[in-house]
A and B are shown apart, each in its own frame.
Chain A
Amino acid sequence: MNSIKRFFTDRESLAPALVTLFAGLFSLLAGIVLIFIVSKNPVQSVRNFLLAPFLRSYNFYYLLIVMVPITFTGLALCIVYQLRYMSLIVDASFYTGAVVATALGTLISLPSGVHPAVAMIAAGIVGGLIGLLPAILKIRWRANELVSSLMLNYVFYFLGSFVILYYLRDRSQTILSSLPFKKTFLLPRLVANTQLHVGFLIAAGFVVLVSIFLYRTRWGYEIRLTGANPRFAMYAGIPVTSVILYAHFISGFLGGVGGAVEMSGLYRAFIWQMNPSYAWDGVIVAMLARRNPKFVPLSALFFAYLRVGADFMSRRGDVAFEFITLLQGLIILILASDRIVNYFRERQLRKQLLKNSRRESR
């Protein structure tokens, strides 16, 4: 029991964990209230919303599949947030990673097993290089990384679409689709007759790797200290510039691999008509995880749960799927307001100190 408590609260006090829990529960509650307001058959809708993964086995596996891409973007954003950077370039890394994987999955031939691995590494490297761009702009010209990354996301989205359209498109299809992937490129299924693929295990592996990297290696140490106070890090002799660069490379690398895993695990060809923008979901996942990678699976699970529930409910009833964006907004609002945490912490502290001083003066 004690070790469980430590798992959730070490390095930080209990308050942020409670606020996170509160954000989750409150958004769920708000969702239920909302359903009762808009739905003609609220009980049925709420049931579909809350119990979706348990009502149909398809939904259950769908939940696990949804977790995969947001785990990758969530991990990538954990690293950036540890640095106290706000770059969202992982969106471009993810999308471009998928395009690179598509190119390698359709154009070259390799033995199965090796084929997706090569594609993932190549996609990761390209994603990492893209991840560097906002950091370089910031270091060199003090350009705000949030703005530059959002703009670059469009650049890479259109560049990726261009490559698919002009070089990889399957012209025999009427809808927009790339050439079909080679058989060797596809990841095996984990459970027969479902879409759950090996990418789920790869994502789990990366959770462990990134946790170790951030908290057990000297590079992670450098990232955390630089994030805590860059001026101090420089004074203490940490090579701050290179820390910022490799952190962003690794973050982008994770995004790129995520894109490749999604392609080889879930699809038979590149068929995205628009950018799925998993980076935005990753923002919530990383925030819910309090930028600690070991909590990413949990927050990804919660997020996927909301998403699958909303999806199932909207197909079975009269509540639109988009209602999930309201819940996401609520979660972000609660998490972003540090003041809530501070308020509770301060009040507690003040009470305790006044009590102590009364005892002293007695």
Chain B
Amino acid sequence: MNYIVRTEKLSKIYPNGTFANKSVDFAVMEGEIHGLVGENGAGKTTLMKMLYGEEQPSQGSILIDEKPVSLASEFDAIKAGIGMVHQHFMLVPSLTAAENLVLGKEPKRKRTRTFDLAAAVSITEELSKHYNLPVFAKARVADLSVSMRQKLEILKALYRGARILILDEPTAVLTPQETEELFVELKTLKQQGKTIIFISHKLKEIFNLCDRVTVMRDGRMIATHNVADVDVHQISNEMVGREVRFEIARPPMAPGEPALRVRELSYVDDFAIPKLKHVSFTLRRNEILGVVGVDGNGQTELVEIITGNEKALSGKVFAYSTEVTNRSAGFVRRCGIAHIAEDRMTVGTALPASIEQNLLADRYRNRQFSTRAGFLRSREMAAYAGRLVHEYDIRCNSANQPVASLSGGNMQKVVVAREFTANASILVISEPTRGVDIGAIEYIHTKIMEMRSAGKAILLVSSDLQEVMALSDSLIVMHEGEIVAYFPDAAAVTDKELGLYMLGIKRQSDEELRKVLHE
């Protein structure tokens, strides 16, 4: 058989001790679209980073065209014909598409040896036409849509002579419509002889696009199949290692009184770009209100302002009857708003601090844990932390070990344990399961539903559309800092329909949008 890329017993251990790849044998045939699936944290991205020279293997070898290679950097990988499109694009926003495309390998004018912009533009347009990937060559990247930036990234790799394209979760930032478009383009590339490695954790996409699929779990390669020979169930069982429950138990529940009221909230970022425009909604008790939108349409800013981590330009936020607009995060917490931050590594935890310190960071002042004079009750603190570790099934040797030594899932459980026991009446939850293993995902979802039953009001933001749709009672859709749709019943909408709103193609009338105020 003709393998274009192959790894032999490839292992990777990160300096912090994460064992990301364990003796992986991965093989891709020339001219195929090869799916690589696995839960978040299964080791897909690490494997690809080693193929692209960004990370060095701890053991094992990589073979290209059956010849062993050492890829010390991205340059080596590019020379070997490998191109990669990252989840987060590597583009210079202030330069034009053409300039980005040729960056590092610029066309020069013959006589003066200076940069030839006209040639760059014509190269871009030619490539774009040849591979049927439309981009505006003269537009600045900052002005391009996300999907066009992605196409530009693909072209960039092709311009550098890539025969093998690695796409790391390319659909995570796309709407359903844009995803379909991308698939057509990728199939065209395949016909032109390119080999594509397509990383995803969405099985539907694999079955729509790929020829073969490799499943990874917990850093190991589980199996490789012809897509035609297997079904979704087999793959998902291999991914998870056991039967998967696709259903989330959801007792019917009528929403109660208004808990969190957001009115006319606006925000402008440091670069004077408006990120929120007159956002208004009401969240009620016993309700999970999902916030849907393509990443970067104001969801982050909305959460930051509600929780006191950012200051609004105008507008008001009320927790029950108390106004919390632009107060400190501490004040907001004392008003009964708990907050699972979207980034647990930089905001949600203090990595060098112990699990105990992280669990108690918002309540160490309680009389339970410190005396009136300010001395800590160490024994109570340790006992309490031990109880939470047990109750929330945080896998660790002791509550004194630094949070940095935990896996992503257990780290998130530390955050969840703290926020769900904070005695808050309102929970603002961002990306509860990003980069978390499937066991922890199920656990966190169950906990969220428990909180709903306990009478909490929950605002849920997640870039995983399936997750928001499955958990939420009602949905709002955000596009460019505005709420463009409100669905009182989340079960009554399809992802296709949401996609139209997420893209900004459709927008509800003001009258329909006013219903979200519940006044």
Contact = CB atoms under 8 A, between A and B. Distances in A.
Interface of A: 10-11, 216-219, 221, 224-225, 228-229, 231-239, 342, 346, 349-350, 353-354, 357, 361
A225 B374 contact: no
B361 A238 contact: yes
Contacts of B352: 228-229
A49 to B, nearest CB: 38
9 contacts: A217-B370, A217-B375, A229-B352, A232-B348, A232-B361, A236-B333, A237-B331, A346-B17, A353-B17
B145 to A, nearest CB: 31
Contacts of B11: 354, 357
Contacts of A346: 15, 17
Given A218-B376, A232-B348, A238 B330 contact: yes
B15 A232 contact: no
Given A216-B376, A218-B365, A239-B330, A224 B13 contact: no
B466 interface: no
Contact of A232 (B22, B330, B350, B375): B350
Given A216-B376, A235-B329, A361-B22, 14 more contacts: A228-B357, A229-B346, A229-B352, A231-B346, A232-B347, A234-B329, A235-B339, A237-B328, A237-B330, A237-B332, A237-B361, A350-B13, A357-B19, A357-B22
- Choose among B309, B347, B353 the residue with the greatest number of A CB atoms under 10 Å from its CB: B353
Given A217-B375, A231-B347, A353 B19 contact: yes
Nearest to B400: A11
B361 A225 contact: yes
Contact of A237 (B329, B370, B374): B329
Contacts of A231: 346-347
Contacts of B329: 234-237
B351 interface: yes
A218 B362 contact: no
A224 B353 contact: yes
B59 interface: yes
B341 interface: yes
B334 interface: yes
A216 B375 contact: yes
Q: Is the interface of A mostly helix, strand, loop or mixed?
A: helix
Nearest to B17: A349
Interface in B315-349: 328-334, 339, 341, 346-349
Given A235-B347, A237-B362, A354-B13, A11 B354 contact: yes
B374 A217 contact: yes
Most chain A C-beta atoms within 10 Å of own C-beta, residue among B330, B350, B370, B400? B350
Contacts of B378: 216
Contacts of A229: 346, 349-353
Contacts of B22: 357, 361
A6 to B, nearest CB: 11
Contacts of A361: 22-23
Q: Nearest 7 A-B pairs (CB), nearest first?
A: A237-B330, A229-B350, A228-B350, A236-B361, A228-B353, A232-B350, A237-B333
Contacts of B348: 232, 235
Nearest to A351: B13
B364 interface: yes
Nearest to A84: B352
B424 to A, nearest CB: 11
Which of A217, A235, A238, A354 has the most chain B CB atoms closer than 10 A to its own CB? Answer: A235
A232 B349 contact: yes
B158 to A, nearest CB: 37
Contact of A235 (B309, B334, B365, B400): B309
A7 to B, nearest CB: 15
Contacts of A239: 328, 330
A234 B309 contact: yes
B58 interface: yes
Contacts of A354: 11, 13, 58-59
Contact of B374 (A11, A219, A224, A342): A219
Interface in B1-51: 11, 13, 15, 17, 19, 22-23
Nearest to B373: A217
A217 B375 CA distance: 4
Name which of A228, A237, A357 has the most chain B CB atoms within 10 A of its CB: A237
Contacts of B23: 357, 361
Contacts of B334: 237
Contacts of B400: 10-11
B15 A218 contact: no
Contacts of A232: 346-350, 361
B419 to A, nearest CB: 10
A238 B334 CA distance: 11
Nearest to A353: B19
Interface string B432-469: 00000000000000000000000000000000000000
Interface string B353-368: 1100100011011000
Nearest to B309: A235
Contacts of B357: 221, 224-225, 228
Nearest to B349: A232
B379 to A, nearest CB: 12
A221 B354 CA distance: 12
A91 B346 CA distance: 33
A10 B309 CA distance: 34
B102 to A, nearest CB: 37
Contacts of B328: 237, 239
A210 to B, nearest CB: 15
Contacts of B15: 342, 346
